[in-house]
Every structure is written in C-alpha cells, then in structure tokens.
Structure 1
C-alpha cells in the first residue's frame, strides 16, 4: 500500500514540477519573425532549465504595453508582464540583469543591434505589493548578510567596511530590484544559492566562502524589512565653487 501511495504522489507531483519549470509567453509576431525570440529564449532556458512555450494569444506572461520596462526597439518601449508566475518572474529578473541586457543587445542581424536594454521612462510602473514578513526579514538579513553588510546597529562594528550598509543601499532609486535580485549581482553569484532557483556550484568552482543559502520567501522577507528602513542621510550635495 505504501508503494502505491508513493507512485500516486509521484504522478501528481510531476505535473506541478513541470509547471514550475515552464510558462507560456505571448509576444508580438515581429519578435518571432525577426528571429529575436529564437535567439533570446534558448539562452535563458540553457542557463535555468526553464522552458518557454510561445503562444500567439492567451499566454500567461507577455511582452506588450503593460508591466516592467525591459528594452527599447527604436522609439518603442517594450514591457514584460510575468503574470505572477514564479518561472516568468525569474525570466523578468534575468532580462534586467547584466547578463540579460548583454544578451538582448547582442541580437544584431547584419551587424546592427535591434534592441537597447537601457530603458528610461517617465511613467513609473506600479510596484508590486510587499508580501514578506519584515520582522523575519530583519533576522534573516542579520544572519545571512550581516557578515559583510551593516544591517542595523547590532552589527555596526562586525561588517566589512568596504561594503555598503543596508541604509545606504535603501537610498538607491532601484533599491527594491537590487534586493530582489541580489543573488544575480556580483559578487553574490560566487557564494549564494537560492533554493529551487540557482544551479549548484560547479565541482571545479566551489564557493570561496561558506555559502549563503536562502529561499525566495526569505528574500521577500528581506525586501519587506529593507522597506522599513530610513535611507542613510548622506548630507547635501557638494557645491562647486
């Protein structure tokens, strides 16, 4: 009977795992017709193992006029809406990462780049509501990040002086994106593992220090905690004489 239960559990779990590692994407016909998606998507899938299924209509995630600005095509600003799917949200983070930006701008048929990853727009996308536990985030921040960063007064003399404090980084305009995707920003990829997101370290490239291991829920808690911080007061800008 136990064996039968295990088999049934495996049968039900497999589709769920498959959904977590794939999503449907609706994109303009021009993207596919130009070869852009045939260039872009395999590079993301090869790195993450996440498969993207293209649909003409009805895709869960989509490129269009709504969502997060990700790149420009001439005067057109393209946005990405993940639809709230975890795998699609990871694709969004990748598009905004340095690697994603280089990949986007590397699409250059006939030697001419089609897209620009630097996006500037007056319209500000409505931020997603914070869902993490700020109190939990304070504890996790101190435990996971406190060996390098000053998280709060309790570790002010125990961090590395050359790394920015949490209050300093809270003053950055893009602070939330930085915290949500910190594991993609150097030097974090060399020693950070995110449960069910990042790939294990290669055998010949182990972590140089004791790895930081976090989950997406813990990252959400850290972001919620940082949102409660008052940005560091760096004083007035220096006035030229």
Structure 2
C-alpha cells in the first residue's frame, strides 16, 4: 500500500501536466527575449505540475504588460500581470508574488547581471484635497471651539494649553485630515463634544467635565477648510544622536 501511495505522489504532477493543456501566457517581445520566463516557468511547473507556454497573443488568458498587478521590474520598466481570474491563473499570480517566486525573479541572471527585481515601487496617485466649507468661517469656529486648548494661529498664540499641539503642529502629520475630521471620537474630545445628528447625547450620569463643545457637520466642514490653509509648523531637522 505504501508503494502505491508513493507511486501516486510521484505521478500526480505528470497527471496535472496533462489537464486542459498548458497555460497560455502572452508576453511582449522584450520580455520573451530577456529569458526570464524561460527561467521562471519550469520552476513554477516543478512546484505545481502546471505547464505554461509563452505566446504572442494579447488575447491569452494570462498576459504580461502595462495593466494588472505589478509583479516585477526590469530592465527599464515595471511589468504587470493580468488574467481571466481562473484558478490556475490565480495560482500563477500567487506564486510570482510569493517569497519563493520573488526570490526566483531576483536570482535570474543574464550575462552576469540580475536585470529583474520583485521590488515594485508604485507611485501613489496624487490627489488634491478639496473642502466644501468656508475657510473664513472655519477660522472663527476654530478660535471659538478649539482655541481654548489649541493654538490656532497668531490670534491666540498665548492662550493655548502647553501640552496640546497647535494646529500648525497637527498639520505636519500625514493623517491630519483624518484626525480633524474624526476629532470628536479621539480622546479627550468625546467627553465634551457634540456634533448634531452625529454623536450620541451625553450620559446623564457622566456630565461633561468642561463647558460642552457643540457644532454641526457644516461647522466641521468649515473648520477642515480652514485647517487646509494652515501652513505646517517648521519643526526643524530631526535630532541626530552620536
């Protein structure tokens, strides 16, 4: 019985090779000529028992090009993988993006060089932040509601609490928009802040410790519009230790 099981294990890849024919993978001429796929595909076949053939057919179920998921870079462009979503194609994508696949890509060498890398640097789209509120109103509301703890601008420069960051310091944070737009759920604000039709009423058994702050969502939009105009504080160069 043990010999039969060993024989089945050895023959399973060969059986898989014959199922539905080989995967057809389209690759542009530059990628075909690089030799990378000739290096990768036998390793994928050894792992999963799935053969693949490279074709010059953009309509193939699996294709390398400029569209799809970025999988590797080289020699002078990023290569993406797109496919029809089949189980076999997804397995190929997962293998390319796995540690084993990434190491195989990095290990490929042509003429003594390693022209490909799985380290993908994808540029994030630049989005311009826009706010519908009135910045002038937002400044007044900021001074009224937030100025008792935060330094808003030169108008209340000497009136904020020392342990509370100024609006300028908060603007240096990469997630400043999230912090301001959800400030009412960030401590200590929930204990004394009410946003009309948005936050629940205060617990009658736990009254606010200070004079409550009450505003509308439109007020918050105005404050966000104002904060967007506040220049980030100059915090100087990072401290360097020796």
TM-score by length of 1: 0.48
